[in-house]
Amino acid sequence: MIRALCVQLFSSLSHWWERVSGAGWNGNAGVVHPLSLTLPRNLSEEQVVYAHLHINPSFCAERSAVAESMRHILIHRRMDSATSRGMTQEKLCRARRPVPGRKSVARRYISLSPKGERAQQNHKPRAAAAFRLWAICLLSGLCFSATAATGALEPSHATMTGKPVSANVQRRAGAQSPAPGKSAAPSEQTLELTLRDAVFLGLRGNRSIRSAYLDRIAEKFSLRVEEDRFNPKISLTGSYLSGRSQDGRANTSTLAPAITLLGKYGTQLSLSWNQQSSDAQHGDSTRSGGPTLSIIQPLLRGGGSSASAPLRLARLTEQANQLKLKTAVSDTVVQIIQAYYEVLRAQEQLKIAREGLERSRQLLDVNKAMIDAGRMAKFDAVQTEADSVTQELSVEETAHQLDAKRLDLLRLLALDSNTRITAVETPVAQRIDIGRAKALSTAFEQRPAYLAQLIASEQASISLAVARNEQLWDVSLVGSASQSRNNMSPEYGGNRAWQANVGVQVNIRLGDLSVKQAEVQAKVNVAHQDILLAEARQALELDVANAVRQLETCWRQYEIAQRALTLSQRKLEVEREKLQAGRSSNFQVLSFESDLRTAENASLNALIAYFNAQSALDNTLGTTLKSWEINLND
């Protein structure tokens, strides 16, 4: 809009200057200069010169021409002010003469050339040149302002806190950001992403990753609960009762604090204090209470290592949950990488389609020239026109695919669907050699799925041990000691009593098949986990072998595609030269054009497939997070 206003302003000023310059130049009537129309009349001469010199001084090539223009500005300013005061033409002419011994205002800023005096003899060309110079400066300054304003539209996503994105995105987003409370329209947002930018934006905003981290809050608390099993537990019980009977009122209060502790080998320790008091209106007041200590040590069921089995199972579950989080993040990173490469593929395919359309149009121009020269029949150009229309359709289809891939990437990054993104990564293929034995060793150590299966097998073994322990008799050593004190009222005094005992406690269950059922289920689960572990081991070996072979195959395919692309380009160039020499036909050139587009797409697909094979190999080995230097901070 600003540029359109500039063009309209320039057109209006041009028509006005044609009318003014057409009337001729009259020295007695004064000098009319367009620059004076844009400034207030209450400015001093120095301010007028300074303002016009700073419109755009970079375009002032001839210092003498600018100085002469400034002289005309000042003359016109003096004439205008003098006319408003009613000065005569004679006084006005005297006012125009420079004062001896005093430099003009224009000379304070720019030195006049030696030919300046002779240049005053022809005012009309000077004024026209000055006006053209002024118009160019004004329009250039406005266009530059419009361009700078347009370049200030930047997205807000690239300046979020967290892992830094590429420097060019941060520089553009931070240097010229919209004013507070104002944001660029979604259709005008453009976000240039490198692959690393996309990965870290996804780590920060992807919903699947955020959901996985929310699950970890509950999972960590479950582990904390199990670890708290062997910490002392304190309970406080109390009551107060107020009653009324034929004997009067009576109040009874009870207070019983207790501490319990469970040992790692099943030892149960309990210490409690039972305090009771009773106050009657027409009776005796009694006080009783004392501590009680009890110890129970299981010898068979519930004793030994089986007592800590729940804690061991909880810790193994925590390790499995950590591996699950690692798997979720790794899978999401791989999805983002593949989605980014799909956007890059769509961009390059659109570029290939547009280049093919341009070559088709160039061939059509050549055909028309040959038809005009009488070297080709007119109907022979129909093939080229049809190919050009087909290429236009291909451009539209490829643009649609690009928009679909862009939306897929925005969904993974959890960005606004109206955000315009551009993949600016310049992929450079480098061959990666990794031996199968080394890959297998790495996978056995770091692949989350295999490690999780190992944990599941260990959990099944612990559960079987617990089920077998539950079938044993409940034989425990018990011991207790207590002390009590009764009638602690000051009127009656009181007495103390203590008691201690040690013994064995036995509990035998007979004919209970549910105990045997738990053992049978545990055995089946162990056998099932062994099968799954063998399956996971074989799957790991097959996946690693396939990933390594796929990487090598994709590299060979890329090299072949590159050679085919070079030969297709050369073949088309030769055929075009033969067509211009009259030794080939449109059909042959169009056929080679199609071969070139096929070779370009094949080379692009081979390159993207090679990069996807790299990310798939990382994911198979479980080294995706390590390759991208990602810490889970779990």
CA 312, CA 466: separation in Å to the nearest integer?
12
pLDDT at 245: 74
Give me the pLDDT at residue 322, please.
95
Mean pLDDT over residues 92-104, rounded? 40
DSSP percent split of the chain into helix, strand, coil, nearest 5 = 65, 15, 20
Cβ burial, residue 518 (10 Å; 0-12/13-18/19+): middle
Closest CA relative to residue 632, chosen from 218, 409, 332: 332
**497 — phi, psi (to 5°)?**
-145, 145
| 167 confidence band (pLDDT: 50, 70, 90) | very low
How many helices (H) and strands (E) the chain has is answered by 17, 8
18-51 burial, b for 16+ CB within 10 Å, e for fewer? Answer: eeeeeeebeeeebbbbbbbeeeeeeeebeebbee
Higher pLDDT, 292 or 488: 292
Name the residue with tokens 């949950």.
321
pLDDT of residue 14: 54
Could you read off the pLDDT of 245-272 as tens digits, one per residue? 777 788 888 889 999 999 888 899 999 9
Task: Classify residue 98 by its DSSP letter.
Answer: P
For residues 580 and 574, what is the distance between their CA atoms, to the nearest angstrom? 10
Tens of pLDDT along 191-213?
889 999 999 999 999 999 999 99
Instruction: Tell me the average pLDDT across 499-515.
Output: 87
Q: Which pLDDT value is given to residue 381?
A: 81
Q: Tell me the range of 154-158, 327-331, 630-634 where mean pLDDT is highest.
A: 327-331
Mean pLDDT of 330-358: 93
The pTM of the whole model exceeds 0.85: no
Longest dimension (CA), the chain: 140
Share of the chain above pLDDT 70, in %: 68
Report how far residue 442's alpha carbon sits from residue 436's, in angstroms, rounded to the nearest whole number. 10
Residue 375: DSSP 8-state: S
pLDDT interval class at 4 (50, 70, 90): low
Instruction: Put residue 232 in one of left, alpha, beta given phi > 0 → left and psi -120 to 50 → alpha.
Output: beta
pLDDT digits (tens, 9 = 90+) for 145-163: 433 333 332 322 222 333 3
Residue 25 pLDDT greater than 50, yes or no: no
**Which pairing describes strands 420-423 and 268-280: parallel, antiparallel, or unpaired?**
unpaired
